[in-house]
Amino acid sequence: MRVAVVGAGPAGVRAVEQLVRAGLRPVWIDEAPDGGGRIYQRPPAGFHRTPKALYGWEGGRAAALHATLDALKPQVDWRPETLVWNIQPGLLDPGRLDTVRDGAVEQLGFDAAILCTGAMDRVIPIPGWTLPGVTAMGAAQIALKTQGCAIGRRVAFVGSGPLLWLVAYQYMKSGAGIAAVIDTTPWRTKLHALAGLRDGAATLAKGAWYVARLRAAGILVREGATPIAIEGEDGVTGLRWRDASGVEQRLDCDALALGWGVRPETQLADLAGVPMRFDAPSHLWVPQRDAAGRSAVPGLYLAGDGAGIGGADVAEMAGARAALALQEDAGMKADVELATRLDRRLHAQARFRAALDRAFPFPARLAATMPDATILCRCEAVRAGELRQAARADAATGAAPEVNRAKAFTRIGMGRCQGRICGAAASAVLADALGCDVTEVGRLRGQAPVKPLPMPMPIPAGTP
């Protein structure tokens, strides 16, 4: 049986571990050179901070995952620095993955595949967000983690979610200059959602600990605040924002990180024909799967944040569980005891996830009410006003009733990133302009290639 695993983050590593344990030798594909996913991404050779320094409280988990990953590489068909740019699900014929590595394309057949495609930052465009110096929240962390750099000398952190506190704290500890931490969620929202749960209380406690240390260092931390606009000409010079009492404020900064949690990378699942559903608590479109990771497409399994946001620990469990499901479905002898244990623990985690979603709600109003002049789609430089125009019944093309039609009319989400960055905000703006629920305008469909695919380069002279 040919099994493929896409992704070598927490879910992918634990999936492959179980497949190898069952005697399989999967093809294992990852875009990064050294696996680990985004959360446990390793710096290139030549860096030497310890896992504790790189990953904080998760240092032990990261080190364990890396050790497993490295031990598995020789036991599988390991293909790093490889993009799966297209997937054709196996229905009657075997499935196929189209890959590209350094310009060389290849097609791989599979009987079963586990997609562990991970997540990326969820951002809301605000005026000025395309300026040099503005990055996604995760990007600010990646710069520090994998390159040892801060994104500026005086960085403002804007958004909400556990990552906001963590990255600001990591910057402070590394000696970076911090202008402010602007949290759009009021403290009481977080408190109400999290206080009653064991894991929730721990998250709150961590957050309070980070915030206390930031404040102790004299850093401005504000909750329940709203960003208005990023200022600057050739780069960031400041942020205008509104405090919890509605008073407009301004601060100086030369860099700014933006983020409201993360969203799943669902392009491959979408292309494979996995049905998607809108998960209201997280305000995200997620691929449908059962608790063990089975999708409605035979032979296709989903695990980790790419299958719905659960975080790294859940991803490790889900990866292992999906691999066991694959074995069960293939008529192999699977570790039933482990499967049962994982099911129980995954189920228990679901309550905590729901509380996190309530604690850090997606500020849909902030997205829906962005000024007309805001660049909404940064790839194609489409402004919010152009999208609102496409929702008007008297537009030359008539009103776009859903987001893919709006894409057709305005080019929103039509650029290099295929709407990964602006999709959620575009739906919020369109739904608001049409006066309908955000689920009614749908989601941007994926199209191959899921990331840019280069036209072939000429073969250098003298190559045999």
Partner 1 sequence: MSGVVETEVLVIGGGGAGCSTALHLALRGAKVVLLERGLVGSQASGANYGGVRQQGRHPAELPIAKRSHAIWQDLPRLLGTDCEFVATGHLKLARSAADEADLVAYLDVARDYQLPVRFLDRATLHRDYPWLGASVVAASFAPEDGSANPRLLSPALAQAARAAGAAIREQIQVTACRHENGRFVVEAGDAVFHADTLVNTAGFWGGQVAEWFGEPVPVRPHTPNMGVTEPIPYFIRPNIGVAGGGIYLRQIPRGNVIFGGGRGTGDPAVPFSRATPEATLAAMRKAVEIVPSLAGVSVIRSWSGIDGMMPDGIPVVGPSSTTPGLFHAFGFSGHGFQLGPAIGAILSELVLDGRTDVPLEPLSIRRFQTTP
Partner 2 sequence: MRQEVALRLVRLVDQDRPEISFTFEDRAMTARQGDTLLTAILAGDGAFLRESEFGDGHRAGFCLMGACQDCRVVLEGSGRVRACTTLLQPGMRVRRA
**CA atoms lying within 13 Å on the CB side of residue 119:** 30
Q: Is 130 in the site for partner 1 (CB under 8 A)?
A: no
Compose the 26-65 pattern: x for residues touching partner 1 by CB under 8 A, - for all others: ----------------------------------------
Q: Is 266 in the site for partner 1 (CB under 8 A)?
A: no
Contacts of partner 2 in 254-313 (CB under 8 A): 254-255, 265
Question: Of the two residues 33 and 398, which places its CB atom closer to partner 2 in the complex?
Answer: 33
Closest CA to 39 of 315, 303, 252, 353: 315
In this chain, which of 6, 65, 124, 142 binds partner 2, going by CB under 8 A? Answer: 142
DSSP letter string over 73-134?
Answer: GGGSEEE-S-EEEEEE--SSSPEEEEEEETTEEEEEEESEEEE---EEE-----TTTTSTTE
- On the question of a cis peptide bond just before residue 449, with omega within 30 degrees of 0, the verdict is yes
What is the sign of the dihedral through the CA atoms of 163, 164, 167 and 170? negative
Q: Is 448 in the site for partner 1 (CB under 8 A)?
A: yes
Using the contact rule CB under 8 A, the part of the chain among 165-173, 192-200, 368-376, 452-460 near partner 1 is: 452-460
Contacts of 197 (CB under 8 A, 6+ apart): 351, 352, 355
Q: Is 91 in the site for partner 1 (CB under 8 A)?
A: no
Q: What is the DSSP letter of 438?
A: G
Report in angstroms how near the CB of residue 413 gets to partner 2 at its nearest. Answer: 12
Contacts of partner 1 in 349-388 (CB under 8 A): none
**CA gap 150, 17 in Å, rounded:** 35
Report in angstroms how near the CB of residue 399 gets to partner 1 at its nearest. Answer: 9
Question: Of the two residues 323 and 377, which places its CB atom closer to partner 1 in the complex?
Answer: 377
Q: Is 462 in the site for partner 2 (CB under 8 A)?
A: no
Diameter over CA atoms, the chain: 71
Q: Tokens standing for 35?
A: 């696996």
* Residue 143 binding result from partner 2, partner 1, none, given CB thresholds of 5 to 8 Å by partner type: partner 2
Let me know how long the chain is.
464
Helix/strand/coil for 138: helix
Report in angstroms how near the CB of residue 389 gets to partner 1 at its nearest. Answer: 12
Closest CA to 300 of 273, 332, 278: 273
**CA gap 79, 323 in Å, rounded:** 19
Compose the 82-121 pattern: x for residues touching partner 2 by CB under 8 A, - for all others: ---------------------x----------------xx
- Positions in the binding site for partner 2 (CB under 8 A): 31-33, 38, 43-49, 103, 120-121, 130-136, 138-139, 142-144, 147-153, 174-176, 234-235, 254-255, 265, 375, 378-381, 415-417, 420-421, 451-452, 454-455, 457, 460
- Positions in the binding site for partner 1 (CB under 8 A): 85-86, 88, 98, 105, 107, 395-398, 401, 405, 408-409, 414-416, 418, 447-449, 452-458
